[in-house]
Structure formats: C-alpha cells, structure tokens
C-alpha cells in the first residue's frame, strides 16, 4: 500500500510543479525555472521515500516531513517569481490544495476498484482535468494580478486554500486515513467540489470588481476630459468675442495714440499700449503643456485651485506624443493634484500653496507635488504611502497611482518633513 501511495504522491508532485510553473510569472529563463522545478520534485520525492517507505509507522516523521514539504512548496513560487506578494502565496497554497484533492481521488479509486493501475491512471486523469479547469477559470486572473501588482483582497483569498488543505489532511490522511474510514468519501467529494466552485466564483467576482473600479476611473477621466473641452470651447468663444471688441475699438486707440503723439506725451502712449497688451493677454487661451488630454485636466485642476484661492506653482513639460498611455497619466496627475488641493484648501491663505512638477519626456517620467500639511499622517508600513483617514487603507485614488507606478516600472514615495508633504513618482523608460 505504501508503494501505491508513493506513486500516487509522485503523480501529485508532477502536477503541483506544473501548476506552479503555469500560474507564476517567471523572472528566470524557462531552462532555469525548469531546473528549479525539477530540484523541487526530487526533494519532495526523497521526503516521501523517508516518510512512506523507511518510517511508515512514525507519526512524528510524518508530521516533520509534511511540514518540510509544505515549506519547500511555498518557498518555490517566491523563488521563481522573485516577488513577495500575497498573489504568489495564493498560487503556492492553491497548488497544495488542488493536488491533495487529486491524491485523495487516487485513494478513492483504489478503494472502489481495488486496482492499482486503474487508480493511478484515474488519478492522473483527474489531476489533468483539475489543472485544465483551473487554467481556464483562474489562470488569466492570477497572471494579470501579478502584472498589476495589486495586492488588494488576495491576502484574504489565501485563507481559502489553507482551510481546504487542512480539511483534506485531517479527514483523509491524518491521524486516520481514508482507508480506515471509507464512509467519509461522500463528504470528501463534496468538499472537493465546493473548493473548486469557491475558487471559480470568488476569483471571478474579484476580477469583476477590479474591472468595475477600472471602468469607474476611466469614466471619471473621460468625463473630466469632456468637461475640459467644454470649458476650453467656452473660453475660446469668450476670447473671440473680446478680441472682436478689441479689433472694433482699435481705431479709437489709434486715434488716441495719434493725438498723444502730436502732444509728445510718450508716457501716456506707453500706458495705452500696455493696456492693449493686457487685454490681449487676458483673452489668450492658457496652455499648460502641449499634450491636449493632459492640458485639459491641468486646466480643470488649476481652475479648482483658483476657486479655493490656492496658489499653484506648476512646471509641466509634456509633449504631444508621450511613451505612455495619455489617459492613465492624466488620471495619476488628477489624483495627486486633487489630493494636494483637498489637503490645503481649508488652511489659512499663506498655507494654501501647492508646487506641482510634471515632466514626461521620451527618457523618463517625473511627477512631484509639494504642499503643507497639518495633523498626523497615516503611512502604510509596506508601501510608505498615505492611507485614508476614514478606512485606514489606501483610497481608490492612491491605489490607482500605486498601480500606475508599478506598471511603468517606476518608484513612488512620500516625504513628510517639518510640515511639508512631498510625494514623488519617477520612472525611466
């Protein structure tokens, strides 16, 4: 029986390694990743040899080797990916849970058919079916989450495979095996079905929620863009009307200047000329940068700052064509700018001051905001970024900024010092 169990576990180890290989974004080449997986397979098989064949009656040996195998399995995804995140932990825990379900199927088939060959063949097919099912239902979501590096809700999801793994272990293998209590088989089968349904439903819901949030921000930025264009059109109409009036009145100004020239009153002529220039400047459409989409949101933010009587020192260098998505950059700028406005808008006049620097050139991206702050800042211990005073977590805006920074391969940090809060994002292309 122990030889059958050893072969059954060997099949499970093969599919476990395939699961890790397929569900992890690898930092090494395929050859190096394959070598790491093969070494893991050899270590797991060697430990099974000690547990099942050399010391089959030792409960202590069973517990110690099981713990060692768990540590090896959970460490491998982190080694392959090179990242420490809850998504990677979820993959490792899921691999353990799904292969233990396959191992249980081998034992069930052995009990009902009493055929080692049929049990092992059936176990192989069930492992394969489970792998295909999970690949079709959750693989894309797992890989996408690793690319976006968004840890939201994945820490809680890790509890699903943990509890299912513990349930399988205690019901089917330890301290009594499924061979000792075959009456538990129907219950075990329902637990297996529940596990995979839970995986599919919960992760699909998480994906749907992520899409909803993305759609919300896309709609917000599109709405801001449309409103910005409407405002721009209004200002253009006003400017055209005022310039028409100026053009109509220019002959009167010309007459005044001729009269002053005859009287040799040059200082008054200079004042008239300055007045004409002032009127022309007032009706000039303000352009903060060459990129239309970004300029639109900057115009909206500057208007909002003006409404709250906030002085803004803006340095924007953004050409028409940039090496990143215009809307994503605009969203980040809007969030950072609006956070700064929200922070200082209720301060005294001398403290209502914001510095904003945005450089998006072909080589790099630099976004920096600086403003005064009062009270206590709550900073996340992992990201180092401010958290919402209401929820104690990053708000949607800060989550969007963090996701954009990680997507562009950049760094972001905040630096509070002596009442001045500075947040800076930098990425090199």
CATH number for the domain including 349? 3.30.565.10
Assigned token pair, 401? 């900024």
Residue 356 has pLDDT above 90, yes or no: yes
Examine the domain organization and report whether 332 and 355 are in the same domain: yes
pLDDT for residue 404 is more than 70: yes
In this structure, the answer to whether residues 275 and 365 fall within a common structural domain is no
CB 224 within 8 A of CB 334: yes
Q: How many domains does the chain have?
A: 3
Does residue 276 sit in the same domain as residue 299?
no
List pLDDT tens digits, range 317-347: 999 888 888 878 888 888 889 889 988 998 9
pLDDT tens-digit map of 66-117: 889 888 988 998 888 877 777 788 888 888 888 887 778 888 888 888 888 8
Q: What is the mean pLDDT of the chain?
A: 79
In a domain, 324, yes or no: yes
**51-61: pLDDT as tens digits:** 777 777 777 88
Does residue 224 lie in a domain region?
no
- Domain with 243 in it: 231-282
pLDDT of residue 232: 61
Same-domain status, 273 and 353: no
Does pLDDT of 229 surpass 70? no
- Residue 109, Cβ neighbours under 10 Å: how many? 21
141 and 241 together in one domain: no
- Cβ neighbours around 415 below 10 Å, total: 12
Give the list of residues 6+ apart from residue 33 with CB closer than 8 angstroms, or none. Answer: 21, 26, 80
193 and 268 together in one domain: no
State pTM to two decimals.
0.54
Provide the 3-class DSSP secondary structure of residue 36: helix
Q: How confident is the model at residue 391 (pLDDT cuts 50, 70, 90)?
A: very low
Same domain, 202 and 245: no
The answer on 299 and 242 residing in a single domain is: no
More confident residue, 288 or 400: 288
């Amino acid at each position: 029986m122990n030889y059958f169990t050893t072969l059954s576990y060997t099949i499970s180890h093969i599919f476990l390694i395939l699961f890790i290989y397929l569900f992890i974004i690898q930092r090494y080449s395929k050859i190096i990743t394959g070598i790491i997986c093969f070494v893991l397979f050899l270590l797991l098989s060697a430990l099974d040899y000690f547990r099942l064949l050399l010391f089959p009656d030792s409960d202590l040996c069973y517990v110690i080797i099981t713990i060692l195998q768990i540590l090896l399995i959970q460490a491998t995804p982190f080694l392959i990916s090179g990242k420490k995140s809850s998504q990677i932990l979820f993959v490792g825990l899921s691999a353990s849970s799904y292969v233990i379900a396959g191992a249980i199927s081998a034992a069930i088939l052995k009990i009902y058919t009493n055929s080692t060959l049929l049990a092992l063949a059936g176990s192989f097919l069930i492992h394969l079916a489970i792998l295909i099912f999970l690949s079709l239902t959750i693989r894309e979501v797992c890989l996408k989450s690793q690319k976006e590096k968004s840890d939201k809700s994945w820490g809680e999801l890790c509890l699903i495979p943990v509890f299912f793994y513990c349930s399988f272990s205690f019901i089917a293998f330890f301290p009594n095996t499924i061979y000792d209590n075959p009456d538990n088989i129907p219950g075990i089968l329902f637990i297996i079905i529940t596990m995979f349904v839970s995986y599919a439903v919960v992760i699909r819901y998480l994906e749907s929620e992520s899409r909803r949030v993305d759609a919300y921000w896309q709609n917000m930025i599109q709405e801001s863009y449309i409103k910005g264009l409407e405002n721009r059109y209004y200002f253009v109409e006003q400017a055209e009307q005022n310039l028409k009036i100026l053009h109509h009145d220019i002959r009167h100004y010309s007459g005044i200047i001729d009269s002053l020239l005859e009287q040799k009153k040059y200082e008054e002529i200079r004042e008239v000329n300055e007045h004409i220039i002032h009127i022309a400047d007032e009706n000039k459409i303000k352009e903060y940068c060459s990129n239309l989409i970004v300029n639109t949101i900057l115009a909206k933010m500057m208007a909002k700052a003006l409404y709250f009587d906030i002085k803004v020192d803006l340095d924007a260098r953004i050409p028409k064509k940039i090496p990143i998505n215009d809307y994503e950059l605009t969203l980040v700028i809007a969030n950072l700018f609006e956070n700064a406005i929200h922070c200082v808008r209720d301060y005294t006049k001398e403290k209502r001051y914001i510095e904003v620097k945005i450089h998006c050139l072909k080589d790099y991206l630099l976004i920096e905001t600086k403003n005064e702050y009062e009270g206590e800042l709550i900073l996340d211990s992992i990201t180092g970024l401010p958290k919402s005073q209401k929820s104690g977590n990053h708000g949607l805006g800060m989550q969007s900024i963090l996701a954009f920074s990680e997507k562009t391969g950049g760094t972001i940090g905040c630096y509070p010092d002596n009442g001045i809060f500075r947040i800076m994002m930098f990425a090199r292309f």
